[in-house]
Amino acid sequence: MKKTFPIMAMALVILMLFSSFAFASSRLETIKARGKLIAGVKDAVVPFGYVDAKTNQLVGFDVDICRYIAKRLGVKLELKPVTSATRIPMLTQGSVDLVAATMTHKFSRDDVIDFSITYFMDGQKILVKKGSGIKSVADLAGKKVGTAKGSTSEKNIKKAQPKCIVLSFEGYPQAFLALRQGKVAAVTTDSTILLGLKNSAPNPDDYEIVGDYISAEPYGIGLPENDSDFRDFVNRCLADMWNSGEYKKIYNKWFGPQTKFHLPLTWKMEIWPY
Ligand code: GLU
């Protein structure tokens, strides 16, 4: 008994050292050791994250942002589809390293995960059938509005028009289908997602995006809680991307005047001096 006590005490100290090391180590080391960044992206949100019909590959603006980060880490990229409702749980459970999925950073989402600096800027609007007579959220009183479960859009529209009936779908394509079938009078979410729905439809001119912005939706990359090394790295990637012109190249590929989803770049990334 007397002899085993110091051995057990030493084992306990070693165990504590190891566990504190594990606690202090960053996700960065895990990613490098496995040689792969696992990123959560949307798979049905044109042009942020969706399956290209010709190549069957996941592509989009958010996918390219992840590709850049993986390249900077010198690792491969694995993409995992997330929805508005699953993206935060998937991050907290550790099944993805980060989430680039049209996600607005908000203080109320910041309790369980962390966010990068803003890497995309949008705001919420409504999409309706042309000739519906709906010109703004004021006209949605008593009407059904479709959006996605787990989105800020759900909450914002309830606040902007308490008299509308909000139907939350799994994703935006399902909400848009409901609009096409006349089951809802409008779809509401960030304007670029609405533009993606409208301009990917076989008959884009049958729909219009109307009214003023009802919210500001700055997108941040979702990151594991309390991992400042990883967060610093991702923020540095975004800043370098902006400063080198790479951001603009990717932005123009998806939202430039040559695309179907033109959105002029009217904001600047928050860049710290080097
Ligand atoms: N940006 C909003 C959000 O983070 C709406 C888009 C989405 O559902 O991803 O909730």
Q: Ligand 1 centroid vs 226 CA: distance in angstroms?
A: 23
Pocket-testing residue among 88, 109, 190, 215, ligand 1, by greatest number of atoms within 8 A of Cβ: 190
Q: Ligand 1 centroid vs 152 CA: distance in angstroms?
A: 5
Model pLDDT, residue 13:
56
Mean pLDDT of the chain: 93
Model pLDDT, residue 22:
47
Pocket-testing residue among 193, 194, 197, 221, ligand 1, by greatest number of atoms within 8 A of Cβ: 193
- Continuous segment of H or E residues that includes residue 247: helix 246-255
What contacts 163, CB < 8 A, 6 or more positions away?
140, 141, 142
Q: What pLDDT digit, counting tens, does each position of 65-78 carry?
A: 999 999 999 999 99
Q: What pLDDT digit, counting tens, does each position of 119-162 carry?
A: 999 999 999 999 999 999 999 999 999 999 999 999 999 999 99
Instruction: Tell me whether strands 113-129 and 207-210 are parallel, antiparallel or unpaired.
Output: antiparallel
Q: What pLDDT digit, counting tens, does each position of 46-67 carry?
A: 999 999 999 999 999 999 999 9
Q: Does the pLDDT value for residue 3 go beyond 60?
A: no
State in Å, rounded, how far the first CA of the chain is from the last one: 59
Indicate the pLDDT class of residue 24, thresholds 50, 70 and 90: low
For ligand 1, which residues put their CB under 6 angstroms from it? 84, 102-104, 148, 151-153, 189-190, 193, 217
Q: Ligand 1 centroid vs 7 CA: distance in angstroms?
A: 54
Q: Ligand 1 centroid vs 16 CA: distance in angstroms?
A: 41
Q: What pLDDT digit, counting tens, does each position of 25-51 carry?
A: 899 999 999 999 999 999 999 999 999
Ligand 1 atom having least distance to the Cα of 45: 9
Burial class (CB in 10 A: 0-12, 13-18, 19+), 217: buried
Q: What pLDDT digit, counting tens, does each position of 173-189 carry?
A: 999 999 999 999 999 99
Model pLDDT, residue 25:
83
Cα-to-chain-centroid distance, residue 80:
12
Ligand 1 atom having least distance to the Cα of 154: 10
Which domains does the chain carry? 26-119+220-255 (3.40.190.10), 123-217 (3.40.190.10)
Model pLDDT, residue 20:
44
Q: Does the pLDDT value for residue 84 go beyond 60?
A: yes
